[in-house]
Structure 1
Amino acid sequence: MAGIAVIGAGMGALAAAARLAVAGHRVTVYERTATYGGAVRRFERDGFGFDTGPALLPLPAVYRDLFVKTGKESLEDRVELVQVDPCARHVFADGTEVALPNASRAGVVAALDESLGGQAGQRWGDFLVRAREAWDRTRRPLLEEPLWPDWSVLAAREPYPAVPHKRLLRTRVAGTVAEIGAWELRDPRLAALVEGHALAYGLDPRVTPASAAVLPYMEHAFGMWYVRGGIRELARAVYERCVARRVEFVFGAEVVRVLEKDGRVAGVELADGTVREAEFVVAPGDGVGLPARADGEVALQRSLPSRVTVLLALRGGRPEGTAHRTVVHTPDRDGELASLFGTEPSVPALPTTTVLRPGDPALVPDSAHEAVTLGAVVPAGAEITEERVDALVSVAERAVPGLRDRILWREVRTPADIARETGAAGGSVPAPALAAAGGRLLHPANPTALQGLFTVGGWSHPGGGLPHAGMSGALVSGLIVEGPQFRGSQ
C-alpha cells in the first residue's frame, strides 16, 4: 500500500483517486480552490442554476465503468441520466433548420434529407460509416491504452478513409475536416455541421486532421446525455465515491513543487511550506511546477482557444418541445475562423453559438421562468466586452425569438474565470487527442521522466473532454497499480 498525492480535484484526478483508493492505496487530494470538479462548476442565483463548464455528457460508459470498478453502486444509482433527444437542433447561415435525433443514424439521414434535400442525409450517413472506421482504428491505441514510446505510429497515420476526389485533373483525398466538408459532403450546411464539431473544441477545421471525424461519430453512435440537476451532479457523485473509498481531501492547499530524491518522486511541497511525503504523485498535465517532460515533443505546442459563457435568467417558461441544445452557425464562416485563428486572434463578430435550454425544474425557481446558457469559442485570454455579449445574444435570437425581451439578468463567464478556476493559461480549454497531423494533436503521455510522477486530466493523454478525463484517470491508476506492463482496459 503506497501513499499517493493527487494534485488538483478535476474530473480526471477524481477518477484516478477513486480507482487508486479501491486498489488499497492511501490517497490524498490537494486542491488549491475551495471545491472539487475542475472546470465542472455551477453558478446559482435567485433560484436559477447553471453549469459553467461542460453541460452534456458524451460516452457515459466511461463513468459507468468507473462506478462499477470502484463500488457496488452503479452510476445510475447516484445520478439520473437523461438521453437528449433531439441530440441537437441546427440553425444554418441560410436560415435552414434541422433537428437531429439522438443516436440514430437512420433518423439523422431522414431528418437531413427532409430539411436539406439533395441526398444530403445519404452523404452524411456515408460519412458516418467512414468516421466509424476511423473510430475503430484509433479507439484503443488513442483512448484506452497508455501512449507508448512508438506513438509516432499514431502521428503519421491518417485513420480516416477519405474518398478519392478528382480536382483539376488530379485525384486527391480529404486530409482535413474542411476538405471533408468541401469534397465529400458538398453542401455548405453539412460542411458547417462537420466543422462545428471541431470548432466546438477550439480546433481550426482548415488544419485539423480528417481523423477528427471521430468527434461527430461519438455523438451519433453513443448519444448525448444530460445529468438531471446539471453536470455538476456528476462531479458530486464522483467526489462522494472518492470520500466513500476513504480518499482524503485537503482544499485550499496549493502545491508549488513536486519533490524528488534519488531520481524518484518523494512528495509535494505546499504554498505554506508544508512538505507531504508520497511514493507516487498524480499531477495535472499542464506542466505547471513540474519537472521537464521526456515526451514533450508530442505535447500541444500552441495555446488552444477558450470559451465565453453567458448565463441568462428569463421570465416566461420553456415552451413544450423545445430542443435542449441548438447550434446557431455563423453567417460569416471565413470571418469567424480568421478572428479565432489569425495572427492576432480576436473575438468573432458573429460567432457560432450554442444555446442550451435544459428544461430541468431543478434549475429554475418555478415553471414561469427559464434558465438558458449561451456559449461560444473565443481566443484564450480574450477580454469580453458588453458589446460582444450583446452580439452573442443577438445571434442566439435566431434560435430563441424575443430572447432579449425576456432577460431578467445575465451573468458572463470569461476566459479569466476559467483560468482562475482551472489554472489553465488564458483560460485555454484542452481538446481531445487526435491521430495524424504529425502528432500535433496528441497530448503528453501519463508517465513522466521522473519515476513515480504521473499526469492526469485534459492536458495529458488522451486529452480534453469529460469522457477523456475519465479515461485519463483509468490509465494513470492502471500504470500505478500494474506498472509499466499495464496495457489498458480490456
Structure 2
Amino acid sequence: MSWMQKMVRRENVSLNTRTEPVPAGPDAPHAVVIGAGFGGLAAAIRLGVRGFRVTLLDRLDQPGGRARVFEQDGFTFDAGPTVVTAPFLFEELWSLCGKNLSDDVELVPVDPFYRIRFDDGTHFDYNGDMDDMVREIRKFAPSDVDGYKRFLEKSEEIFDIGFEELGHVPFDDLTDMLKIIPAMVKLQSHRTVYSLVSKYVEHPKVRKVLSFHPLLVGGNPFTTTSIYTLIAFLERKWGVWYSMGGTGSLVSGLSDLIDEIGGTQRYGADVEQILVDNGRASGVRLADGEVINADLVVSNADVGWTYRHMIHPEDRDTWTDRRVENMNYSMSLFVWYFGTDRKYEDVEHHTILMGERYESLLDDIFHNKELAEDFSLYLHRPTKTDPSMAPEGHDAFYVLSPVPHLESGVDWRVQAEPYRQAVSDYLEQTILPDLDDHLVTSRMLTPREFLTDYKSLKGAAFSVEPILQQSAWFRPHNRSEDVEHLYFVGAGTHPGAGMPGVLSTARVLDTTVPNPDAFSPTRAPQQEVTV
C-alpha cells in the first residue's frame, strides 16, 4: 500500500499495541483540533502524548491542509510547502511518540538550496557553504563579500534571540512584549528585511539574493520586520532538505503517529462553528449539524476565518469583525502543477526566477493589489532529487507566482488560464524550452481556491502578514483573548508561517495549555444533534 493510499478518510482509528506513550483513557479531557495542516497534526500529537483524548477534524478528504497531495496522470504533486528546514522540529514529534523520524521518513539534503535566476539570464547558486557563497557573490560584487560576512553575523545574532529564545514563547501579556523591547531595539527590528540587507551589501542582485526569504512566509521584504533575516542563518545552520516521496510523506508520517497514540482523525468533517458556553470553548458544530463536545479546542484553521466566521460576534470582545477585517493579510499565490514527457536535467530542485522589477512589483502585489503583467516565480522540480514523483523519463513541476489576495477584485475563473499561459510562455523562453510541446498534465490553484478550499480569509496564502505591528504580542495570540480554552496554531499566530514557524506554534501549546488534570471533563466526547 502506497503512503498516498494510507491517507484516506480515517475515523476512530486506534493502534493500542504500543506501550509508550500510553493512549489517553475514556475519562481524559477531550481536545478537538480543527484542521490537519502541519500545525494541527503537531498539536494533536503534543496534546495526545500529554494525556488528552484528541479528535482531529478536517474538511478536506486527507491530512495536510495546504500540504495536501495531488495525484494525477501518474504524477505526484505536493500542493504546498516544499522547503524543509529545521528538521529537528519533526524529529522532536517522532521522539515524543517513542520513535525515530528516520524510521518513517527519509530526508535528503538539497544543494544548492536555491538557484536564483535573474531576468538577464545570470544566476546565483545559494547554499550554506561559506566558500561557495563567497564565490557566487564575487561573480557580481567582490566588494560585497565582507558585507555578506557581517550580515551573516547579524543574522546569527537575530536567530539566537528571535528563534532560539522567542520562537516558542507565548506572548499572552503585554509585559511579555515590553520585556523584549531592548533586545528588539538592539537587533534593529524597526528596519525591514531589505533595509537591513542593504546596510551590509550594495549590489542590487546581491541584495535580492539576501532579502527574498520573507516571500517564503508571506511577507514583503520591503515591509517585513528584519527579524526575518534569521532565516538566512537558520538555513545555514540546519540546511535545506527534501522528504523522499514528497512533503506528503511527512504529513502521512505525522498522521500515522496520531493513530499510534490513540488519536481520532476524521476527514470530510467541515467545522462550521466553535461552541462557546459562558465564555469557554465547549466543542464544535459541523456543517451537517453534528455536535462534538470538548474540554478545549485548538484551531489550525485560518485565524482570521476562525474569528470572523466560526465564533459568534457576541463571544468576541477583542477580535471584532472590524479588527479582523482590518488586519494586513499576506499576498496570495497562483500555483500551476504540471508534468512533462521529457526531463530538464539542467533545472535545479528549487529555482527562483526574478523578474526585471522587484520593489515595484511587490508594491503592486501587497499595496496596490493589482495583478501585474510581469512576475517573479518559484519553480519546484522534485524529480531532480526524487524520480518517483513522476513516470519514468518524465519531470514533475510546480511553479508559483505571488499575486494579490482577493481584495484585488480579480476574477480568477476568467483570469486563471491566461495567467497560466503567460507563466508557461515565460518558462519556455527561459529555462524550459519547448514546454508546450512536452506538457502532459496540468492543474491550477488560485487565490479563489485558497478561500474555497482552505477557508483562508481574503484568499491570503499565509494568513496574517508578518509586519512588525503584527508580530509577537501584536499577532493573534496562541491562547485566545476572547474565549477560554480556545487555542490557535498555524501561520496566523505566533511565531508565524513557514514549516518551522507553524511547527513552533504547536510547541507553544506545551506552555499555554494546562495539564489534563486541570480539566474536569463531564461531557461525552461526541453527541449528535439534529438542526
With the shorter chain as reference, the TM-score category is 0.7 to 0.9
Q: Per the alignment, do residues 443 and 141 of structure 1 end up closer, same or farther by CA in structure 2, a change over 3 Å counting?
A: farther
Does the 8 Å contact 1:174/1:183 carry over to 2? no
Counterpart Cα distance in 2 of 1:160 and 1:314: 50
Q: Given the alignment of the two structures, is residue 211 of structure 1 paired with residue 227 of structure 2, yes or no?
A: yes
Q: Per the alignment, do residues 156 and 81 of structure 1 end up closer, same or farther by CA in structure 2, a change over 3 Å counting?
A: same
Q: 1:391-470, aligned counterparts within 5 Å? A: 391-397=422-428, 398-430=430-462, 436-437=468-469, 439=471, 442-448=474-480, 449-470=482-503
Counterpart Cα distance in 2 of 1:394 and 1:462: 38
Does the 8 Å contact 2:330/2:465 carry over to 1? no
What SS is found at the alignment partner of 2:92?
A: helix
Q: What is the identity, as a one-letter code, of the residue corresponding to 1:123? A: G
Q: Per the alignment, do residues 436 and 174 of structure 1 end up closer, same or farther by CA in structure 2, a change over 3 Å counting?
A: closer
Q: 1:15-414, aligned counterparts within 5 Å? A: 15-69=42-96, 71-101=97-127, 103-113=128-138, 115-149=139-173, 150-153=175-178, 159=184, 175-284=191-300, 285-286=303-304, 287=307, 288-290=309-311, 291-292=315-316, 294=318, 301-319=327-345, 322-343=347-368, 345-359=369-383, 360-366=386-392, 368-381=393-406, 382=410, 383=412, 384-397=415-428, 398-414=430-446
* Corresponding residue number in structure 1 for 2:525: none
Report the CA distance between 1:157 and its aligned residue. 5.7
Report the CA distance between 1:160 and its aligned residue. 7.8
What SS is found at the alignment partner of 1:422?
A: coil
Report the CA distance between 1:420 and its aligned residue. 2.6
Report the CA distance between 1:441 and its aligned residue. 9.3
Counterpart Cα distance in 2 of 1:477 and 1:295: 24
Counterpart Cα distance in 1 of 2:355 and 2:117: 9
Does the 8 Å contact 2:62/2:68 carry over to 1? no
- Once the two structures are superposed, what CA deviation does each residue of 1:449-476 show, in whole Å capped at 9, x if it has no partner? 3221111211222221122221112222
Q: Per the alignment, do residues 386 and 256 of structure 1 end up closer, same or farther by CA in structure 2, a change over 3 Å counting?
A: closer
Q: Per the alignment, do residues 388 and 154 of structure 1 end up closer, same or farther by CA in structure 2, a change over 3 Å counting?
A: farther
Counterpart Cα distance in 1 of 2:253 and 2:443: 26
Does the 8 Å contact 1:89/1:323 carry over to 2? yes
Counterpart Cα distance in 2 of 1:78 and 1:300: 43
User: How many pairs are equivalent?
Assistant: 470
What SS is found at the alignment partner of 1:410?
A: strand
What SS is found at the alignment partner of 2:217?
A: coil
Counterpart Cα distance in 2 of 1:183 and 1:174: 13
Report the CA distance between 1:346 and its aligned residue. 2.0
Identity of aligned residues (%): 25
Does the 8 Å contact 2:190/2:468 carry over to 1? no
Q: Per the alignment, do residues 131 and 474 of structure 1 end up closer, same or farther by CA in structure 2, a change over 3 Å counting?
A: same
* Corresponding residue number in structure 1 for 2:23: none
TM-score with structure 2 setting the length: 0.81
Does the 8 Å contact 1:263/1:451 carry over to 2? yes
Does the 8 Å contact 1:10/1:36 carry over to 2? yes
TM-score with structure 1 setting the length: 0.87
1:4 corresponds to which of 31, 36, 39: 31
Counterpart Cα distance in 1 of 2:265 and 2:390: 31
Does the 8 Å contact 1:211/1:435 carry over to 2? no
Q: What is the identity, as a one-letter code, of the residue corresponding to 2:423? A: L
Q: Per the alignment, do residues 108 and 298 of structure 1 end up closer, same or farther by CA in structure 2, a change over 3 Å counting?
A: farther
What SS is found at the alignment partner of 1:34?
A: coil
Counterpart Cα distance in 1 of 2:466 and 2:399: 27
Counterpart Cα distance in 1 of 2:179 and 2:433: 46
Q: Could you tell which deviates more after superposition, 415-424 or 371-380?
A: 415-424
* Corresponding residue number in structure 2 for 1:167: none
Counterpart Cα distance in 2 of 1:156 and 1:330: 37
- Once the two structures are superposed, what CA deviation does each residue of 1:345-376 show, in whole Å capped at 9, x if it has no partner? 1223221111111222211111x211121111
What SS is found at the alignment partner of 1:30?
A: strand
- Once the two structures are superposed, what CA deviation does each residue of 1:275-323 show, in whole Å capped at 9, x if it has no partner? 222111112333231342647889981121111111121121242x642
Does the 8 Å contact 2:222/2:359 carry over to 1? no
Does the 8 Å contact 1:155/1:439 carry over to 2? no
Greater strand share, structure number: 1
Greater helix share, structure number: 2
Q: Could you tell which deviates more after superposition, 390-399 or 237-246?
A: 390-399
- Once the two structures are superposed, what CA deviation does each residue of 1:195-230 show, in whole Å capped at 9, x if it has no partner? 321233332222222222112332232211111111
Q: What is the identity, as a one-letter code, of the residue corresponding to 1:390? A: Q
Report the CA distance between 1:51 and its aligned residue. 1.1
